[in-house]
Structure 1
Amino acid sequence: MAGPYGRGRIMEHKAILSTLRERFDCLTAAYRCFLTGSCPSQSAADVAGVIFSGVCGLVPGENRECAPVEYCRDNSVKLTCISVTLVEKITSSLTSQSLPPAVALYCVEILRVLFEDMDLMSQLVHQFQAKDQIISHLAAKCVSMRVFYHLHKYSTVSPVWKQKCVEGFHSSPPGIELDACLWSLTEVLKKLLKGAHQEILGKLLAAFDSSLSALCSKFLPEERKEVMQCLVDFTRNRHWGTTFCLLLDLLEVLTASSLICGTGVCLKSQRITYIHSSALLTIISCSSEYFIKKRALLLLKRAVLQKAGEDWALGEVLFPGLKYEHFNSDMSMLAQSVLTAVAANWLQSVQVECASFFGGTRHTRGDEGQKPDCVMLRAVSLLLLKSMELHIQTAAGAAEAESAKEVYGYLQSLWGFLRQYSVQLTEVTHLCCWVSWLFGEQDDDMFEAAKALLSIFLNHRLCSRLDDLAVLEAACASGCNPHCHFLLMLQSISFDHSILLDFLISTESCFLEYFVRYLKYLRADWQGFTAACGRISVSDCHLSLQQSLSASCGGDMFALTYKGEPDRVEFSACVQPTDVISPVEMIRLAAGFRLVEYGSSDESDPENMEVSQDEPGASVSKKSRFRAVDVKQGIDGPPIPIRQKQYESSNVTEKRPETSLQLLQSEQTSSPNMAPQSGQVTCETSARAILCLSELREVVTRLQTKKLFPYNPSSLLKLLAQVENCSQQSHLSHFSK
């Protein structure tokens, strides 16, 4: 039998368990009531008291000498978690206004008692430093929701939360407490950005501007030696990786906030990514943690593409057309930091590991080893390409020619970097293929790369003293011939105009901007386009470039090789098909094959389409990054100078839809029994491309007539008609000879 002392301990234990059970029952009942839209049987003050006691259950320093910790600690942790979660749930429901009026009043009273009478905020921010990381994170979530609710309702910042975060940014080392402060501020800023609360956002950022600048100066000092020393110091702390990634998350939110402020005042903390870009590049090359390298690189990629926040924006409109005062100088600073680092062999220090999958890494067949991390390769490539594009845009006068030479040097450095990690690219001699190889699975990145390379090419063409043929040959040698990029893109989608239509309508990529700029150049350089068609063989056009390269990367089905001339691309199959289809028949099949049938658009419901047909500048949507009015400006702007014979387009009229088909048929019937020669292959490639553009013009015209196109495409249609006219004149000139 237990003695008096033993019986006393047992009774005390039972009393504590009973109290914990009663608290659990009270909180569980309250939670269920809120879910069902009813009020608990207890008063708001009673529920608030239970919540407060649960939140304070594990506050460091509380006297627990008399409590049987070995029995109740786990239950106490659970009680704290459910208490904090319930407060977050109540606050979230009030913010979203999803509760019935009576229940909402009940919840408002609970929060009033907790935060005004009991000062729960002080207890919650104190839990930021709890040793249990789950409790610390739940407290940060709860505080963030409360701060956002208070900001949304009263437009004031919680002084207790602000003081805690400021102190943490100034003095806390990497660890749980600083992590909670970083995550909490990041979450509040995200909510404000999604809700477009610009005025409130400005007040909040002003409150943390100096402390955030001090924090980033500590983690991202300006001097390379100091960055290296910080890496040594911080890596001794096991929490450093987590803290730094949370800091990078915050930097992305700050960068996104700088883009939405428009012409308003932009604080220093919102420009940290640009100001400390050199330190971030050093982190990428010198950090021992691969996930930190990758996260920092993706931040810089999104900054240079002006896509910060794209992962969590959920389609919301974040970025207006007007930029803040220092935007151009900040982008120039970022670009210059990248180019300076590349000139100092930064690419050679960038680590690219094997692609990871669920369950580890995947080995490819043969002797190719493991597939590289294409996310890293794409990020490095886009960061450098966009930096080069920005660099040539800011170069002026006598510096332009020298800038063009530098840019081609950077391209050679990029090719060397990519060849280190790609057996397929090592075997390719026509470098224009690398865009489709690397970006084939990411349309948005592919068009960003193509647009940047088009700008680089046009700048080099303008600054060089070479004739047009020599310029195009040099472009192919450097992998930036825009004609090759466009043709390879068309080949990768099997010359299907319906996919181009999807790209035109989508707001997720810059295809419209790229397409307009390329078509404007195409109408001025038809001979260059014809020459590119000769380089790219369609003898195996039923195999798209993307399929061929994907198969080459993953197995041994197809390989990209070169036959005869070094600048002529052909696809050779290791496994020969049993049924050989001629290129002419493939063109016929392509003309009748559609992935999407837009001929049935009569059945579409125009009432469900937000269309503005009357206004020529109507945009695709509020999210569109490139408006129809910009298309018109781009087409009607100054023509691209060219040193060869120009085609007059001032009196271009709409051609009949049969024009390109008639030309194609005439090519097909001109020599029906002859084997395809190089000139015939060139005509076939050109005919397929023009047929695709012609069909695109027809379907866009039909949708415009039925008021089903999301913006006014008149200027785009005019440009497509001009390209068709160039094609017709070229063919008439060819036949006249």
Structure 2
Amino acid sequence: MEESLEVLEQLYKKVLLGAALEHDNQDYVCYLHPEWPDQGGPTASPSACSDTPGARGKCQPPSTPSCPTSGAAVGLKSRAWETTLLQLTVVQVMVTRTLSVETTFHAKERYREIIKILLQSSDFDSKLTRMFQSSDKLLCHMAAKCLALLLYFRLKEKITLSSSWIAFCQKHLSEYSENEEVLYCLHTLTAVVKEILKGTGSQKTEILKQFLTPLDATLEAFYNSLFSQHFKNLQDPSKMVNSLIHFLELLELLMASRLHLESPFPCQRVFFLKAPCVLHVVAWPVQAFVKRKVVVFIKKCLLCKVGEDLCRGSVAASVPPDEHLDGDLLALAEAVLQAVDLGLLKTLSVCGRPSCFAGGDVQPGCECLPGPDHGILRAASLLIIKSLEIKFQNCASAKEMKVDLQRFMSELLAFLKPHLEPSVWAQHPCEWLSRVFIEQDDDMLEAAKASMGIFLKLSREYEAAESPTQEELWHRHTHENGYNPHCIFLFLLKNIGFDSTVLLDFLISSETCFLEYFVRYLKLLLKDWDTFLTICKDFDVMDSNESMSICGFMSSPGQGQSSNQTEFSLLAALGGHGNAHARDSWAAGAAPEPRNQVVVFPETHAAPQASRLSSQQASQSLVDYDSSDDSEVESTDLCVANSKQTSSQQEAMKKTQDTVGTSGDEKELSLELPSRPVFPKESNIPFSVAGDIAPDDTVSEAGISYRTVKCFEELQGAIYRLQKKNLFPYNPTALLKLLKQIEAICNKSMNAL
């Protein structure tokens, strides 16, 4: 046995370096046949060599004592355990080296021949699956990893999957059982699909078909069996939880692999078509993290982001679009909404323990404020709003859409209300989105895009009605249910301090859907400019009341409460009809702001402007933004030399300050804003807003509409400058065209006065 360990150690060092092997292949094969240590046998047995095709008995197992003492038996078993682990490790490294492009051709061929000889053994896979019965978790884990790599090697080399492995899967996955073999079988299947998706070759379609064809019916049967279990009747619920977590990971990878197939297998569609089975898990008496994993998993499916970290390779052009995907997403969306009707949100555990670094508990004596699980809040919110968007895309009845939207959004807002600040409902329901998703940019933009899709779908129906009364009710409906796109976008801008560099970062990054959302909003803004200006006025009133309340101008709690619930003047601005209904809805008894009244903010309200300046100065101190022309030329040459897109994005961010941070217009944002007109009269500022000029030409502080279009101006200049130097990662011509149109409509509004 000592000789076996020495040979394996030398082989491991050579394979790890990708070095060529000197001895005959059979000499190595005999030492790589593992023996299950619990059986007590030697590591390399005569049967291992005799079962190997072409073996000549060149390796002889070391002799063992016939009647070992107790201490010697323990030592022998320990060495056998070490030898088996080393054998599994060597096989894994050898397969990895065979699949690597960095391995030399001669060494790779030798490794491939050795692995093929191992796989020709009639019981090699069976030996690995028998290790799953061991009480040693490390041995089981290593056996599963080794088996997964060998299965992937078979697929890559177009070797038929062994019948013993297929029979093992069918035995343990035909129906759910509490055996440990189920977990390791799922773990092995998951590892194989991961390897397939990580591959860069064009064989993914063929490999997936070869792998899923014999296992398709088995996996579908396991899905039905697992989620039909009665949780309370299980002997060991922890095993059920482990199986559930492993199977959800496998399901996610199976659905992600649909991109590479012409027609998906039933096991890749079973979740969409039978989603209520998984949604029932949320009602099980299981730990909160299990429910969280289920909800996040469903969210990924609705957003089509399953397995996004593993599917980086391009999809073959020959593979047509998945014709079943839209129908599957619709089925999932309807299942989610039905579950919400049945009380899904009431079963979610929102109040969780505070998260700590490395998953540890809070140490005694440390202050930690309790709070809700924002991950659950975000996931649940996206479940509802994305499901509504998907359903409305396939719904033709405006009345049905309106009823569904009002019912489910009221359910969602009631679910969120206890976990958000009361001011969200005291001022504007549309603020819920920015408050819930403030810590997660990608989810926030997905939710904003979904709400935009809902708005556009419903607006087309209301536009077809061509009724002023319907128009007023429509605008009231968008605010009451928290999905008005102008409000959502303005709250987003307020959260980022109207900093155009943040918008530029979103546009350059490929991690969010901001480009698609921003383009759709700009198109809407061009059509709905007057409504945008009216909403901006209401935001200014709301900010004014907040500022005066903070500064102590409110004389009594009752007066403060009335001011905080200031009525939105949207309906009055649109024509004055239906204002009583809006008053009842938004703030009973609140007096509307006069149209000709000039709002003059206290000096302390200029803090947001100063905050934006300080944030830019802080960012400039963190990153060395050089605005000299010479450095720009040098950076441009460096970026052209580097063809990687990531480098272009980094250079683009470094150039942003040239347009945004060093502009001479920044002096207009000084703290003396109350004495400055709303609209700058300098000719070098293209953007201007007419909506903030008071009829009596009285000056007031720059409102939110001015800050918005000023942000657009800075963004437009930054994009143009980066495009001119070939630093923008894609062609922004269409986006610049939209921004120029916004500029034109601003100037037109000003000239009309």
Verify same fold: TM over 0.5: yes
Secondary structure of the corresponding residue to residue 708 of structure 1: coil
Residue 33 in structure 1 maps to residue 14 in structure 2: yes
For residue 268 of structure 1, report the CA deviation from its aligned partner. 0.7
CA–CA distance in structure 1, aligned partners of residues 93 and 251 of structure 2: 28
For residue 421 of structure 1, report the CA deviation from its aligned partner. 3.3
Deviations 1:443-468 (A, max 9, x none): 11001000111122233334456454
**Equivalent residue number for residue 488 of structure 1:** 491
For residue 567 of structure 1, report the CA deviation from its aligned partner. 5.0
**Equivalent residue number for residue 86 of structure 2:** 82
CA–CA distance in structure 2, aligned partners of residues 707 and 504 of structure 1: 15
Report the CA distance shift for 1:164/1:66 in structure 2 as closer, same or farther (over 3 A).
Answer: farther
Secondary structure of the corresponding residue to residue 265 of structure 1: coil
CA–CA distance in structure 2, aligned partners of residues 562 and 437 of structure 1: 22
Which amino acid in 2 is paired with 1:582? A
Q: Structure 2 residue aligned with 1:58, among 28, 38, 42? A: 38
In the alignment, is the contact (CA less than 8 A) between 2:16 and 2:93 conserved in 1?
Answer: no
**Equivalent residue number for residue 518 of structure 1:** 521
For residue 191 of structure 1, report the CA deviation from its aligned partner. 1.5
In the alignment, is the contact (CA less than 8 A) between 1:523 and 1:723 conserved in 2?
Answer: yes
**Equivalent residue number for residue 164 of structure 1:** 168
In the alignment, is the contact (CA less than 8 A) between 2:40 and 2:77 conserved in 1?
Answer: no
Q: Structure 1 residue aligned with 2:111, among 86, 107, 110? A: 107
**Equivalent residue number for residue 136 of structure 1:** 140
**Equivalent residue number for residue 121 of structure 1:** 125
Q: Structure 2 residue aligned with 1:280, among 278, 281, 296? A: 278
In the alignment, is the contact (CA less than 8 A) between 1:433 and 1:488 conserved in 2?
Answer: yes
Report the CA distance shift for 1:707/1:514 in structure 2 as closer, same or farther (over 3 A).
Answer: same
For residue 732 of structure 1, report the CA deviation from its aligned partner. 2.7
Deviations 1:628-676 (A, max 9, x none): xxxxxxxxxxxxxxxxxxxxxxxxxxxx993436769x979x989x6x4
**Equivalent residue number for residue 710 of structure 1:** 729
Report the CA distance shift for 1:338/1:537 in structure 2 as closer, same or farther (over 3 A).
Answer: same
Task: After TM superposition, list the pairs within 5 Å mapping 1:374-453 onto structure 2.
Answer: 374-396=374-396, 399-423=397-421, 428-453=426-451
In the alignment, is the contact (CA less than 8 A) between 2:688 and 2:743 conserved in 1?
Answer: no
For residue 718 of structure 1, report the CA deviation from its aligned partner. 1.4
Secondary structure of the corresponding residue to residue 30 of structure 1: helix
CA–CA distance in structure 2, aligned partners of residues 22 and 61 of structure 1: 16
For residue 118 of structure 1, report the CA deviation from its aligned partner. 6.8
Which amino acid in 1 is paired with 2:606? S
In the alignment, is the contact (CA less than 8 A) between 1:273 and 1:300 conserved in 2?
Answer: no
For residue 42 of structure 1, report the CA deviation from its aligned partner. 5.9
CA–CA distance in structure 2, aligned partners of residues 403 and 539 of structure 1: 31
Deviations 1:671-718 (A, max 9, x none): 89x6x4xxx5xx521111111112222222223333332222222211
Q: Structure 1 residue aligned with 2:504, among 501, 505, 509? A: 501
**Equivalent residue number for residue 608 of structure 1:** 642
**Equivalent residue number for residue 698 of structure 1:** 717
Task: After TM superposition, list the pairs within 5 Å mapping 1:585-600 onto structure 2.
Answer: 586=610, 589=613
In the alignment, is the contact (CA less than 8 A) between 2:21 and 2:110 conserved in 1?
Answer: no
For residue 274 of structure 1, report the CA deviation from its aligned partner. 0.5
CA–CA distance in structure 2, aligned partners of residues 236 and 166 of structure 1: 22
In the alignment, is the contact (CA less than 8 A) between 1:59 and 1:127 conserved in 2?
Answer: no
CA–CA distance in structure 1, aligned partners of residues 304 and 124 of structure 2: 40
CA–CA distance in structure 2, aligned partners of residues 362 and 671 of structure 1: 59
**Equivalent residue number for residue 16 of structure 1:** none
**Equivalent residue number for residue 60 of structure 2:** none
**Equivalent residue number for residue 14 of structure 1:** none
Task: After TM superposition, list the pairs within 5 Å mapping 1:111-510 onto structure 2.
Answer: 111-117=115-121, 119-154=123-158, 156-171=160-175, 173-195=177-199, 197-220=204-227, 227=228, 229-234=229-234, 236-261=236-261, 264-313=262-311, 315-317=312-314, 323-354=321-352, 355-358=354-357, 360=360, 370-396=370-396, 399-423=397-421, 428-464=426-462, 466-510=469-513
Secondary structure of the corresponding residue to residue 479 of structure 2: helix
CA–CA distance in structure 2, aligned partners of residues 458 and 598 of structure 1: 43
Share of identical aligned residues, percent?
29
- Structure 1, unmatched stretches of 5+, are 1-18, 221-226, 549-558, 570-577, 612-619, 621-655
Which amino acid in 1 is paired with 2:449? K
CA–CA distance in structure 2, aligned partners of residues 511 and 365 of structure 1: 43
CA–CA distance in structure 2, aligned partners of residues 412 and 490 of structure 1: 25
Q: Structure 2 residue aligned with 1:684, among 682, 695, 703? A: 703
Deviations 1:243-270 (A, max 9, x none): 1111101110111112343xx1111111
CA–CA distance in structure 2, aligned partners of residues 443 and 418 of structure 1: 19
CA–CA distance in structure 1, aligned partners of residues 143 and 237 of structure 2: 23
Which amino acid in 2 is paired with 1:658? N
Secondary structure of the corresponding residue to residue 336 of structure 2: helix
**Equivalent residue number for residue 659 of structure 2:** none
Which amino acid in 2 is paired with 1:565? T
Which amino acid in 2 is paired with 1:459? K
CA–CA distance in structure 1, aligned partners of residues 477 and 90 of structure 2: 66
Which amino acid in 2 is paired with 1:216? Y
In the alignment, is the contact (CA less than 8 A) between 1:168 and 1:178 conserved in 2?
Answer: yes
Report the CA distance shift for 1:167/1:425 in structure 2 as closer, same or farther (over 3 A).
Answer: farther
CA–CA distance in structure 1, aligned partners of residues 190 and 743 of structure 2: 51
**Equivalent residue number for residue 749 of structure 2:** 730
CA–CA distance in structure 2, aligned partners of residues 720 and 365 of structure 1: 54
For residue 218 of structure 1, report the CA deviation from its aligned partner. 0.4
In the alignment, is the contact (CA less than 8 A) between 1:368 and 1:423 conserved in 2?
Answer: no
CA–CA distance in structure 2, aligned partners of residues 140 and 592 of structure 1: 52
CA–CA distance in structure 1, aligned partners of residues 41 and 181 of structure 2: 16
Report the CA distance shift for 1:249/1:514 in structure 2 as closer, same or farther (over 3 A).
Answer: same
Deviations 1:714-733 (A, max 9, x none): 22211111112222222333
For residue 284 of structure 1, report the CA deviation from its aligned partner. 1.6
Count of paired positions: 628
For residue 307 of structure 1, report the CA deviation from its aligned partner. 0.4
Secondary structure of the corresponding residue to residue 699 of structure 1: helix
For residue 319 of structure 1, report the CA deviation from its aligned partner. 9.7
Secondary structure of the corresponding residue to residue 447 of structure 2: helix
- Structure 2, unmatched stretches of 5+, are 46-63, 551-559, 570-585, 587-601, 650-681
For residue 318 of structure 1, report the CA deviation from its aligned partner. 5.9
For residue 190 of structure 1, report the CA deviation from its aligned partner. 1.7
Secondary structure of the corresponding residue to residue 372 of structure 2: coil
Task: After TM superposition, list the pairs within 5 Å mapping 1:9-20 onto structure 2.
Answer: 19=1
Which amino acid in 2 is paired with 1:57? P
CA–CA distance in structure 1, aligned partners of residues 174 and 727 of structure 2: 56
CA–CA distance in structure 2, aligned partners of residues 191 and 367 of structure 1: 44
**Equivalent residue number for residue 606 of structure 2:** 582
CA–CA distance in structure 1, aligned partners of residues 743 and 485 of structure 2: 18
**Equivalent residue number for residue 686 of structure 2:** 660
CA–CA distance in structure 1, aligned partners of residues 493 and 364 of structure 2: 28
In the alignment, is the contact (CA less than 8 A) between 2:508 and 2:729 conserved in 1?
Answer: yes
CA–CA distance in structure 1, aligned partners of residues 404 and 608 of structure 2: 43
CA–CA distance in structure 2, aligned partners of residues 248 and 585 of structure 1: 48
In the alignment, is the contact (CA less than 8 A) between 2:176 and 2:226 conserved in 1?
Answer: no
In the alignment, is the contact (CA less than 8 A) between 2:688 and 2:750 conserved in 1?
Answer: no
**Equivalent residue number for residue 99 of structure 2:** 95
TM-score normalised according to structure 1 size: 0.76
**Equivalent residue number for residue 554 of structure 1:** none
In the alignment, is the contact (CA less than 8 A) between 1:419 and 1:425 conserved in 2?
Answer: no
For residue 108 of structure 1, report the CA deviation from its aligned partner. 3.0
In the alignment, is the contact (CA less than 8 A) between 1:475 and 1:481 conserved in 2?
Answer: yes
For residue 350 of structure 1, report the CA deviation from its aligned partner. 1.8
CA–CA distance in structure 2, aligned partners of residues 431 and 368 of structure 1: 29
Report the CA distance shift for 1:659/1:426 in structure 2 as closer, same or farther (over 3 A).
Answer: closer
